Amino acid sequence: MRKVFVFLKFLFVVLFHGVGACFSGQAGQPNVLFISVDDLNDWVGCLEGHSQALTPNLDRLAASGVLFTNAHCPAPACNPSRTAIMTGIAPNRSGLYDNRQKMRELLPGAELLPRYFSRHGYWSAGSGKILHYFIDAQSWDDYFPAKESENPFPRTFYPKQRPVNLPRGGPWQYVETDWASLDVSDEEYGGDWLVSKWISEQLLKNHEKPFFLACGIYRPHEPWFVPKNYFEKFPLDEIQLPAGYRENDLEDLPSAGKRRGPNRYFAHIRKEGQWKQAIQGYLASIAFSDAMVGRVLAALNNGPNRDNTIVVLWSDHGWHLGEKEHWQKFTAWRVCTRVPLMIRVPRGVPGLVEGTQAGTRCDAPVNLLSLFSTLTELAGLPMNPASSGPSLVPLLNDATASWPHVSLTYLNEPGSYGLSGKNHRLIHYANGDEELYDIKVDPFEWNNLAQSAEHKELMETLRSQAPVVFAPKGGSEKRQR
Ligand SMILES: [Ca+2]
Ligand SMILES: [Ca+2]
């Protein structure tokens, strides 16, 4: 009898530790590899935003899990988008709507994703740009470069003489708006190469605790300076203009849309004969960022954490390259709100035991604001009551699951937003102007349907799903509803 008991005890230990060995955490919790790519629109092979985009690594990642084809950012600018993603608090609740506002002034007590995970037994580390030009040292256990520096950028090669290709149009022009093929190797270039190196080193190690590891790839954010190897993939005489560009596209817009569209950048770039050169620079920068992601994914694949790590990749917002006569970001059109979002979940994860199915595409309207609750649910952590985006776990489980939500993108003035549904998008400006698009037949939003009588009811339905309370700009958490 005693022998049987000892055997059963042995069996229990083997089984328990055998299962435990699949996961790093004492509680069997999965690791999280959280990859952001800055300013990457849908010019990704698997999203088909530009026929020449070269992103084999992103495409492979997407094919290995769930690709969200109708994902949108919380705001079309770095700071409000990243703040919302990392806190789970939408701009209309935080009052943080633009790049000039300071996250810690508005949200002094907000707990960011990495701190939330480390409070629940994780080791949280990051590298590169995750927040808007600062690290927020208090939120991380480790960082590269050192978190105390509050500078998320490692050594990066920059040409001595600048601008290189796009002359300055005036004091209004962002100094980084420029592009150049650099005669350096990836290693000499540094920047994201160093970020991906540090992240890879962490992925190749065994860790005592499960990890939350954030990899912030900075390209294709301007300046579009990358090693020449990436420019050579896109010969200038073969460059295709954006498929979404259409002359006279602004004619059917309300006055707020007409004001939001044309900016001095695009006019300046065309005047200087640099449109194709700029597209080449963006494509080269995307190819470079894809290669850096590839290094990270290879390290994950070749290391001890391959089978127990959730991988999520996202970009903070899209980007215009001439569509609606606009350059850059800050608009509510789909070209600017739609982002790559791909999630791969291994089997055995507490919130999704079967894991994700390779090759899944999901066209439900989702928002990056949901990442907080999605990751905590997957890892089996308690829900953070401060985070408001609905968890994507039902869609990770079944891409066709019922999804009653719309996806909100907040512009830089309270009351202005883009609302993305499954088939339609509504843009509402604070002055009452509106636009409506049927994205199934008009993905580039050329035909504004807001004035057509037959869509009146649809617009009312969509409008009823938008928030009615908007914290004033600079408002604090206390003003949240
Ligand atoms: Ca950005
Ligand atoms: Ca139009």
DSSP 217-246: E-TTSSSEEEEHHHHTTS-GGGPPPPTT--
Which among 445, 446, 447, 410 has a CA at the least distance from the CA of 429? Answer: 410
Tracing tokens 């927020």 back to the chain, one arrives at 136
**Residue pLDDT, tens place only, 275-292:** 999 999 999 999 999 999
Looking at all shown ligands, the one closest to residue 244's CA atom is 2
Residue 369 main-chain phi, psi, to 5 deg: -60, -20
Sign of CA dihedral 396, 401, 405, 410: positive
Write down all domains in the chain, each with its CATH number in brackets: 27-398 (3.40.720.10)
| Predicted pLDDT at 28 | 73
Q: Which is more confident, 13 or 266?
A: 266
**Percent of the chain's residues with pLDDT above 70:** 93
pLDDT band at residue 419, thresholds of 50, 70 and 90?
very high
Tokens of 331: 């608009």
In this prediction, residue 23 carries a pLDDT of 52
Ligand nearest to the CA of 447: 2
* 19-33, 85-99, 173-187, 464-478: least confidently modelled range: 19-33
* Dist. CA 324 → ligand 2 center (Å): 8
The pLDDT value given to residue 475: 55
Of 285, 286, 276, 288, the closest CA to residue 321 belongs to 276
Closest ligand to residue 81's CA: 1
Please give the distance, rounded to the nearest whole angstrom, from the Cα atom of residue 177 to the centre of ligand 1: 13
All residues with CB under 5 Å from ion ligand 1: 38-39, 78, 316
pTM above 0.85, yes or no: yes
pLDDT digits (tens, 9 = 90+) for 217-231: 999 999 999 999 999
Confidence of residue 355 (pLDDT cuts 50, 70, 90): very high
Q: What is the chain's mean pLDDT, rounded?
A: 94
The set of catalytic residues is: 78, 132
User: Taking 60 as the threshold, does the pLDDT of residue 25 lie above it?
Assistant: no
Structure confidence at residue 474 (pLDDT):
81
Q: Identify the three-state secondary structure at position 337.
A: helix
Given a cut of 90, is residue 14 above it in pLDDT? no
